[in-house]
Amino acid sequence: MLLIDKQSNVPIYEQIIKQFETLIVRHVLKPDEMLPSVRKLSVDLSINPNTLQKAYTELEARGICYSEAGKGRFVASNAREIIKKDKDKSIKKLQESITKLAQMDVGLEEILGIVRSTFEKVMQN
As annotated, the residues of the chain forming the CATH 1.10.10.10 domain(s) are: 12-78
Q: Helix or strand or coil: residue 52?
A: helix
pLDDT of residue 124: 74
The answer to whether 36 and 72 have CB atoms below 8 angstroms apart is no
By residue count, the chain amounts to: 125
The answer to whether 35 and 76 have CB atoms below 8 angstroms apart is no
Average predicted confidence (pLDDT) for the chain: 94
Summarize pLDDT for 5-31 with one digit per residue, the tens: 988 888 999 999 999 999 999 999 999
Is 125's pLDDT higher than 80? no
Judging by DSSP bridges, how do beta strands 65-68 and 72-75 pair with one another? Answer: antiparallel
Q: Please, which residues bridge with residue 72 across strands?
A: 68
CATH of 12-78, one of 2.40.37.20, 1.10.10.10, 1.10.390.10, 1.10.1370.30: 1.10.10.10
